[in-house]
Amino acid sequence: MEIDRHRVLDALPAMIWIALPDGQACFVNQSWSAYTGLDLEQALISGWQAAINSEDLPNLLERWRALLASGQPGEMEARLRSAAGGYQYFAINCSPVFDDNGRIVEWFAISTEIGHRIRAEESIRQREAKLAAAEQDFQQKALEQNERTFQRILGSIPTLAWTAEPTGAVEFLSRNFLDYLGITAEEAQGWGWTASVHPDDIAGLTSTLQAILASGRPGEAEARLRRGDGQYRWFLTQAYPHRGDTDNVVKWYGSIIDIEDRKRASESLRDKGRNLGLIVNTIPVMVWSARPDGSAEFFNQHYLYYVGLSMGTKDWEPTTELSEYWDLTASVHPDDAAGLDSTLQAIFASGQPGEAEARLRRYDGEYRWFLFRANPLRDETGNIIKWYGTNTDIDDRKRAEEALKRSEAFLAEGQYLAGMGNISWHVTTGEILWSEPLYRIFDFKPGTVITLERIASRVHPEDVHLMGDMLEMAHRGESDFEFQHRIVLPDQSVKHLHLIAHLAHSDSGQIEYIGAVLDITQRRRSEEALEKIRSELAHATRIMSLSALTASIAHEVNQPLSGIVTNAGTCLRMLAADPPNVIGARETARRTIRDGNRAADIIARLRSLFGKKSAAIEPVDLNEAAVEVIALFSGELQRNRVLLRTQFASGLPFVGGDRVQLQQVIMNLLRNAADATIMVDDRPRLVVLGTEPGEDGDIRLFVQDAGVGLDPHVSEQFFEAFYTTKADGMGIGLSVSRSIVESHGGRLWAEANDGPGATFSFSIREYVRPDIPSHPSSVTSAPASATINRGLS
């Protein structure tokens, strides 16, 4: 469309040129170039100023800036040099072109030769000067005669001319003017001629003429005048002041020029230009065009705005150097400029469409990646007459590509470090694809075609049935499956693998499983080693606890043994009586049996507590287990003068765990609490052991002491292996206790009390089995004042 518009303008016989909103010339037609001898390229780089008479150039530039600032149509006058070298006066009529939002998108200008008018006016001025010098004594008569002569001259020239008083009241209209309007001289006098002005234009024309009269300077205005047959046509009214000896305006001279054809041409060009300009500047793409040799000649507003080279400022001078502006690589990143220029030159040389990528600097200095595309426009003969191009922002795509590359690199490195690989298996076709790490895990040569048979050749003989189960589940269409199995490598080494797969339907509708294979050999070995160490530590802790509790156990066993001896002696005395007290002896014998059983129970608990055997999960009444520990540890509490208060909650369900291991934890917490109060002398050495319902159905057991307390910042260190605050401690008890609790799915933690001392707690899940109902504990809650107080004196 741009080329069609230029061809239309070139076909017009008028001298036409077009400028951007900021005044920069962007087009001159053939008539203008033919007259001035300047081609388009010379005109666009401010060479057009060479065609202006140097005396007229300052006023022309000043008038041009005023029109740009006002945004209104106007006229300029200047002498233009022809290609032959002579100068002629031209009236340059400029009109702005607006878009739908009222913004100026272009300026259209037509240069009209007015040499005849200038010569006529110059002849008039010369004649008036001669008459004034020769006949000063008869000035009035000469003036009248000169006026008549001037009117005859004006009446003879083919121009609609007029004269007016300093106030603007018309006193003379040329015969051509009167005949055109179809009115008499009397009807035209004063402001009567304005009756022929179009009603829509009268207000604007009157206002403009009044402003020209008030300024005392030449001016012009446009309006539609009614011809004698009633038709309206556009005319350009031009007014020029004539000043007397005192420099006052004594008369106004003017001419009326028919500009109807020019207006129609301008309107047509304006419509075409507006439509094309709106299309080019509205599409959300940076558009540019270049000459056949590849030199840029046009950038749309999106392009100019993006690179910060918009020419829409009012302070712009037509002489501004635009050599950098008309360069496709001017705003390109220095590292990309050479490559882009080379690629574009290759595209221009080939005459074929092409594209290139480069970073383009935004107006704020930021560089973003763009895709440069170029496409040639050819004439009817196939010759390239122009290149059109677009720049598309691909920075987000480039960043995404780079992020994807980094992600793939990170994934590959992560898979390598984690010993993991991805696998895809099409069940129907048997096609298997997997990532590079799996070749290393299975010890296959990279690139080897993977089949189920090859995989099965690596599976451990004892785990082949697991692979069979997996295949059966896959053919049934199970959504997910997970297996852990072993493989045997050619060097007979064994690896433990963990496979996780998820069902996904491919585009063709076939069943496909996407999964991951993780080498867990090291983890399995570490777990086995850790489990062995935990077992050894737990056994060592129980053995260490034996020495500390020996005295307490002896005390507990001594009580039933003493009872047995006492009861046996009493029984003998009752049997020796006369008569024998058989009933009393029988009751004494029953008490002897009771004390014997009690001693046996104590020994059995001692052997099970400190025996080395694996944990057995069973329903455990936490209250009863705690009471049994208290019975074993009561002697230790007596010797250290520790008050033990119990706060057992009633109705608690069973917990699931190994009774002996849980008692080991309770004993360890109870011993630590007792040790924490040994150094306390200013308050009772109080320890509280209790149970209560926890969160989410858990059961909580706590041991609270009034001892020296703990530092909140190091509370977690208490559970680290070999960390201890005791001079004779090994730092193993709490570490093993936490391991036991966590192996039961529970949690062990420590908290500082609001007052003195600390509280150690652990929580265990409720035991749930369909065949064993949960029932409340048989141990009732003890009152807050209940205290086990043995040997405090």
pLDDT of 182 strictly over 80 = yes
Determine the residue type at 67: L
Q: pLDDT for 213-230, tens place per residue?
A: 888 889 888 889 888 888
Residue 579 preceded by cis peptide, ω within 30: yes
Using CA atoms, how far apart are residues 665 and 763, in angstroms rounded to an integer? 12
What pLDDT does 407 receive?
64
pTM equals 0.30
What pLDDT does 785 receive?
33
Instruction: Count Cβ atoms within 10 A of the Cβ of residue 578 and give its class: 0-12 exposed, 13-18 middle, 19 or more buried.
Output: exposed
The number of angstroms, rounded, from the C-alpha of 314 to the middle of its chain's C-alpha atoms is 37
> Within 328-394, where are the H helices?
334-350
Which range is least confidently modeled, 107-111, 445-449, 730-734?
A: 730-734
pLDDT of 517 strictly over 70 = yes
Q: What is the mean pLDDT of the chain?
A: 77
Q: pLDDT for 674-695, tens place per residue?
A: 888 888 878 888 899 999 998 7
CA distances from 709 to 234, 675, 679 (A): 104, 11, 11
Residue 543 confidence class, pLDDT cut points 50, 70, 90 = low
Residue 401 confidence class, pLDDT cut points 50, 70, 90 = confident
What pLDDT does 183 receive?
85
Q: pLDDT for 342-399, tens place per residue?
A: 898 899 899 999 998 999 888 888 999 998 888 998 888 889 988 988 888 888 888 8
**Which one has a higher pLDDT value, 637 or 428?**
637
Give the DSSP per-residue string, 386-449.
EEEEEEEE-HHHHHHHHHHHHHHHHHHHHHHHHTEEEEEEETTT--EEE-HHHHHHHTPPTTPP
What pLDDT does 622 receive?
92
